[in-house]
Chain A
């Protein structure tokens, strides 16, 4: 496949970005990808996440700004620059928002970006059926009802919680 940007060179990088809550995937050649601030094999160690890593191992890496710095998580509003400066992500959604950058970093940190440990089954999803959840859910609803000053609903929820407890 040809690069979708210059349409001259072979596309070697799939760049997935989240913009306004929709995923956009671009197929780019190495040069065009670099222009968009994507780290490629050749530049990876010279670019900021490399700097972040250097900072972590105490060599005081010199962090230079790149175009990707402005990449922003739509859920919590933190930017890639925030992450590079603090070493901490803002929320779970950041892993999607900065996916391509993190994948590369995770590979360097752990030697892999693919989790092979225990698979988590979220409460309430298929395969999980815990009666205690109902009580916790009612408490959550009660908190929201109180916050919204919906006291009629709150009183009803409180009674239902009492019965279950």
Chain B
């Protein structure tokens, strides 16, 4: 079993809800796609190419000022449950953790974590550098990441072209290789049925939305990841400014929607959020999806100051620790255990009782 306490803040320091707009925006995550000159891209890489890339990156990491002493995890040496645990913490993609396949990840698949930054090695690109921050914090997340990129870029030869920019395995990432995502909670817009319009508007201004776990994942608990669609033809700052401007607007719309709800249907909103709280507190069996939906209702109530004495941090923690692999690890079970819904309900009840006490 992997010891997650080795990771700085368990790799989830961003959960503490300390960031700007922490009750609406869970986290800000930015990644940069980079490849090494002289090595074939992942699609064509043989095992030997992949391990050669990992060796180069590990050596550079040891020499680097910012990755020195980073925790390095070789995913091909981990059991499936542990890989899923890292995925549930948003530290590795489904693809790198090989969660959609029965086989283990190929040699060379690795994760390095140091503070608020990390590197996935041998994913779709040789390197996926990422920075993660609590709340709505594009500038801080990018400052961390830019420093790491500059540091590693002096120790490793990145594939770069004067016209096309940073060269990536898929042309959809070429240029800056930058994808910034803001994980945002929009229950007000969902309840007022305005969310469709907002998401349509995003597409028109070159942004895209995804589910809780990024590309290809479903939307649960009214959580959306908003991110830039294009990576080429605009500078890093322009891409971040544009996303930031639009996200600020979406936050405003969400706040307006919540005002409307409070003004026009205060009893319904209070009822919805207290019912969700009641179910979480007294239910004896909870599926993960139901838990997420109920947490969404309670989170809305906390944001509107309807439920006193409950912190956003607790709600964030519940979101992470009620996921299957986390719950199974907590209780020493398998991820497929049929009793997980009971274990989940017990865990949620215990946390909420401790918070109220």
A and B contact pairs by CB, cutoff 8 A, 29 listed: A56-B172, A78-B44, A87-B170, A89-B170, A90-B41, A90-B43, A90-B44, A91-B41, A91-B44, A95-B164, A95-B167, A106-B164, A109-B232, A110-B174, A110-B230, A115-B164, A115-B174, A115-B233, A117-B176, A117-B235, A117-B236, A118-B236, A120-B153, A120-B166, A130-B154, A132-B154, A136-B60, A136-B155, A143-B55
Q: Are A113 and B155 in contact (CB under 8 A)?
A: no
Please tell me if the beta carbons of B158 and A113 are within 8 angstroms of each other in the complex. no
Give B169-202 interface residues, CB cut-off 8 Å to A.
169-172, 174-176, 178
Interface residues of B (CB under 8 A from A): 35, 37, 39-44, 55-56, 59-60, 63-64, 124, 153-167, 169-172, 174-176, 178, 230-236
The reply to whether A123 and B156 form a contact with Cβ atoms under 8 Å apart is yes
Which DSSP category, helix, strand, loop or mixed, fits chain B's interface? loop
Complex-state Cα separation, A135 to B40, whole angstroms: 24
Contact, CB under 8 Å: A92 / B35: yes
Chain A contacts with B in 115-131, Cβ cutoff 8 A: 115-123, 128, 130
| Contact with B176, one of A92, A111, A118, A133 (Cβ below 8 angstroms) | A118
Are B230's CB and A116's CB within 8 A? no
Q: Is the CB of B165 within 8 A of A115?
A: yes
Q: Assuming A115-B174, A132-B64, what are 9 further A-B pairs, CB within 8 angstroms?
A: A76-B41, A88-B41, A88-B124, A89-B167, A103-B163, A115-B164, A115-B175, A117-B175, A123-B154
Decide if A123 touches B232 in the complex (CB within 8 Å).
no
User: CA A132 – CA B157 in complex, angstroms?
Assistant: 13
For residue A116, which residues in chain B have a CB less than 8 angstroms away from its CB? 233-235
- What B residues does A113 contact at CB under 8 A? 163-164, 232-233
Within the complex, what minimum Cβ distance (angstroms) separates A128 from chain B? Answer: 6
Contact A110-B232, Cβ < 8 Å, known A115-B163, A115-B164: yes
CB-based nearest A residue for B34:
A120
Compute how far the CA of A135 lies from the CA of B60 in the bound complex, rounded to whole angstroms.
10
Say how far B160's CB is from chain A's closest CB, in angstroms. 4
Judge if A86 is at the interface, Cβ distance under 8 Å.
yes
- Give the dominant DSSP class at A's interface: loop
- Check: A9 CB closer than 8 A to any chain B CB: no
Residues in A with CB closer than 8 Å to B44 are 76, 78, 90-91
Contact with B along A43-56 (1 / 0, CB 8 A): 00000000000001
Q: Which residues of B contact A154 (CB under 8 A)?
A: none
Give the size range of A's interface with the partner.
Answer: 35 or more
Q: Of B40, B155, B176, which one neighbours A132 at CB under 8 angstroms?
A: B155
Q: Are A89 and B160 in contact (CB under 8 A)?
A: no
Contacts A88-B41, A89-B43, A132-B63 given; does A112 touch B155 at CB 8 Å: no
A116 to B63, CA, bound (A): 30
Q: Which of B41, B124, B158, B175 contacts A110 (CB 8 A)?
A: B175
Alpha-carbon distance A110/B170, docked complex (angstroms): 13
A121 to B35, CA, bound (A): 14
CB distance from A75 to the nearest CB of B (A): 8
B160 touches A120 (CB 8 A): yes
From known contacts A88-B43, A136-B59, infer whether A106 and B232 are also in contact, taking CB-CB under 8 Å.
yes
**Nearest residue, chain A, Cβ from B231:** A110
Q: How far in angstroms is the closest Cβ of chain B from A133?
A: 7
A119 vs B35: C-alpha distance when bound (angstroms) = 15
Contact A122 B63 (CB under 8 A): no
Bound together, the chains give a CA A90 to CA B46 distance in angstroms of 12
Q: Which residues of B contact A136 (CB under 8 A)?
A: 59-60, 63, 155
Q: Do residues A92 and B230 form an inter-chain contact, with CB atoms below 8 A?
A: no
Residue of B nearest to A123 (CB): B154
Q: Using CB atoms, name the residue of chain A closest to B60.
A: A136
